[in-house]
Amino acid sequence: MVTDNVTANDAVARLLLRQDVEAFLYHEANLLDERQYDDWLDLLTDDVRYWVPMRRNVKFGELEREFTREGQDINWFDEGKPTLIQRVQQIQTGVHWAEEPLSRLAHLVTNVEITDVQPDAADAGEVSLRCRFIIYRNRVQTETDILVGRREDTLRREDGQWRIARRKVLLDQNVLLAKNLTFFF
Amino acid sequence: MTITFQPSAFSGLVDRDNGLVSREIFVNHDIYAEEQERIFTRAWLFVGHESQVAKPGDFFISSMGEESVILCRDRQGEVHVFLNSCTHRGMKVCRYDEGNTPIFTCPYHGWSFATDGSLVGVPYYKDAYHEELDKSEWGLLRVPRMTNYKGGIWASWDPQAPDFLEYIGGFRTYLDILFDGWDGAEGGTEIIGGIEKWLVPSNWKFPAENFIGDRYHNISHRSVDLVGIGPSGQGRRDNRERDGAKSLDVSFPERGHGTVIFLRPADAQPVQSYQNDPIVAEYFYACEIARKERQGELWRILGGPGTIFPNMSYLPRQPRSIAVWHPRGPDQTEVWRWFLVDRSAPPEVKEFLRQYYIRYSGPSGLTEQDDMENWNYAHAASRGAMARRLRYNYQMGQGYAVDDFEDGGLHLPGTVLDTTKARAGEQNQRTFYTRWADFMAARDWDELAGWRNGKSANGHAAQGNGAAGR
């Protein structure tokens, strides 16, 4: 039956898309963990937005004020590609003492859910997704940070490959327990 | 258990005459506990900015030393600071960071406090207390001294502490650069939303002394200088306005405050800066002209990093901000960072600065990440049984500071070390630890306010009290 075929094709398309997107996310995490920062930058669109708000303790009913606002408040990060490139360049100077010696990083990405596809799964040009992350960072001798949170990404297909057009990182901390954020989420 | 030290227990830890400071004062737990008593219950501490509690009922939870305090504005519009601890059984009456409320209700047994601190609600008041509890005696503990200086809210637990303006003395000339508008308009600044808060594994005095005037740590920032994040795309700051300026380290040994400044030549004129953005460049240029008009000779002073003893540091120009180094044990500091902009600046300027502040400052800032690495491991490497027997060396430029600095007819308040040629000095750090020793030794504010009788608690001559003038 025609209808069933359409449904089946659609389901397969969504399955393949999901597979494709997850593979991209794992590839990206791997680049960061392997310190392939230039390759990582290539995965970002030129107009990428990278936003990590700070997080307040607010009263129930005022949760809209929980996060600092993009484009208005001080945030942990609220920037585009030029500053991200500078962060990479700084690490690559070899005298960025907060990353020298380099951190040992493990990005664990999980709970991936595709929340929007444009125009459709079979011919996806832009995908919105959310996922959870755990970032384990170990440095020098005993310095250890574990950062856990939620991420909302928008991926865009450019020249036949996925690139990150937007990343919003909701970190599950109030007072930041790490002394710095020299790594990428 | 708190050991009660005799004041003499601290003598010798700071050797002012030889520029040496014992590492014990950074790593020793007993000394740390005494600091909480002797410094943080007596000094003036920065609590917040009035723009954070603009409306009646607004509150902002801050910290004085280790203790949580509530900064709030009551229904009559008056600003208060209270200990954030229920007078019944100690529970924090507020665990939010900020907000607006008519009342603070303790989650433990339900005692309720109005925003003026008064105890207004006690469950079972009639039946269990038989209406015999005198509620007027059990309001929130009010911090007895509080002042709003140009929007900055400061408080002290010590009823005997001098007025804030006496506490800062001649340093006011320099602190004003932080709180006034860039055009010199009195108190023309406001806070950008979002206070950075994070932990640094080092003693609180490392950052305080770094900000008071460490011009020596250029190597720390080599990487960011190479990358160039400054407002004009170079270095970490925009330094064009410093062309031809003298570098001066200014400190107030009898008070403990200090700052590094740049003094433009007497015939200097405003220069264009922030050329990356025409609107921003135009704004600051117009401000410079207006400030020169308003302030005359004082316009020649370009503010740099500074510290108000004990734990409030600031950057008055780039990136304009306040840092408070809250002690959290000898080995840990919780940093809170406020960012300031001119209230009347156009949106483009505020946005330009906001982006610069973020990429410069704090745990995500390209510049300050490297500072924290140094404080972290300097502290860690000073903790050992052998390491702590050593003393830190603060001898740079010792004996070269003057108390009557004058340049082109402008007399500057404070003790001034000219570092134009030397490029760095440690007069300000010596000032900081001299004052630290004063606080640890002095019995009360009669001894601490040494400028009143020309002697500090340490016996050195007190001066530098006046305001700048010609």
Q: What is the CATH number of the domain that holds A44?
A: 3.10.450.50
Q: Flag whether A89 is in a domain.
A: yes
Nearest CA in chain A to B221: A96
* Closest-CA distance of chain A to residue B399, Å: 33
Confidence of residue B8 (pLDDT cuts 50, 70, 90): low
Size of interface A-B (CB pairs under 8 A): 128
* Closest-CA distance of chain B to residue A116, Å: 30
CA trace torsion B159, B91, B198, B146 (10° rounding): -20
Report which of residues B163 and B239 the model is more confident about. Answer: B163
Q: Flag whether A184 is in a domain.
A: no
pLDDT at B272: 86
pLDDT tens per residue across span B45-54: 999 999 999 9
* pLDDT one digit per residue (tens) for chain A, 185 residues: 556 787 889 999 999 999 999 999 999 999 999 999 999 999 999 999 999 999 999 999 999 999 999 999 999 999 999 999 999 999 999 999 999 999 999 999 999 999 999 999 999 999 999 999 999 999 999 999 999 999 999 999 999 999 999 999 999 999 999 999 999 99
CB contact under 8 A, B223 and A95: yes
Average pLDDT over residues B168-184: 96
Instruction: Show the beta-strand stretches assigned E in B130-277.
Output: 145-149, 152-156, 189-191, 196-200, 246-252, 257-263
pLDDT tens per residue across span B420-467: 999 999 999 999 999 999 999 999 999 999 999 765 554 444 444 444
* Closest-CA distance of chain A to residue B349, Å: 12
Percent of chain B with pLDDT strictly greater than 70: 94
Reported residue count of chain B is: 470
Find residues 346-375 of chain B whose CB sits inside 8 Å of chain A. Answer: 351, 354-355, 357-359, 362-364, 366, 369-370, 372-374
pLDDT tens per residue across span B313-322: 999 988 999 9
Q: Is A142 on the interface with B (CB under 8 A)?
A: no
Token code pair at residue B264: 């433009």
Q: To 5 degrees, how large is the angle CA B22–CA B27–CA B29?
A: 115
Q: To 5 degrees, how large is the angle CA B102–CA B104–CA B105?
A: 120
Confidence of residue B11 (pLDDT cuts 50, 70, 90): confident
CA distance A55 to A58: 9
Confidence of residue B241 (pLDDT cuts 50, 70, 90): confident
Q: Is B200 on the interface with A (CB under 8 A)?
A: yes
Q: Flag whether A180 is in a domain.
A: no
CA distance B3 to B1: 6
CA distance B221 to B369: 9
* Closest-CA distance of chain A to residue B384, Å: 16
**Residues of chain B contacting A180 with CB distance shorter than 8 Å:** 363-364, 369, 372-373
Q: Whole-model pTM?
A: 0.95
Token code pair at residue B221: 């920032």
SS3 A111: strand
Q: Is B341 on the interface with A (CB under 8 A)?
A: no
What is the span of the domain harbouring residue A100? 2-171
* Closest-CA distance of chain B to residue A58, Å: 5
Confidence of residue B277 (pLDDT cuts 50, 70, 90): confident
Assign domain B168-452 to its CATH superfamily. Answer: Naphthalene 1,2-dioxygenase Alpha Subunit; Chain A, domain 1 (3.90.380.10)
Structural domain total, chain A: 1
* Closest-CA distance of chain A to residue B438, Å: 31
Q: Is A71 on the interface with B (CB under 8 A)?
A: yes
**Residues of chain A contacting B222 with CB distance shorter than 8 Å:** 93, 95
Token code pair at residue B350: 């505020």
Q: Is A59 on the interface with B (CB under 8 A)?
A: yes
SS3 B433: helix
Q: What is the mean pLDDT of chain B?
A: 93
**Residues of chain B contacting A57 with CB distance shorter than 8 Å:** 95-97
> Above 90 in pLDDT, residue B274?
no
Of the candidate ranges A34-43, B129-138, B225-234, the one whose mean pLDDT is the lowest: B225-234
Average pLDDT over residues B315-339: 96
Q: Flag whether A60 is in a domain.
A: yes
CA distance A103 to A144: 9
SS3 A75: coil
Domain parsing of chain B, residue ranges: 45-145, 168-452
Q: Is B460 on the interface with A (CB under 8 A)?
A: no
One-letter amino acid at B72 equals: C
Indicate the class that CATH gives domain B45-145.
Answer: mainly beta
Nearest CA in chain A to B201: A179
Q: Flag whether A94 is in a domain.
A: yes
Q: Is A41 on the interface with B (CB under 8 A)?
A: no
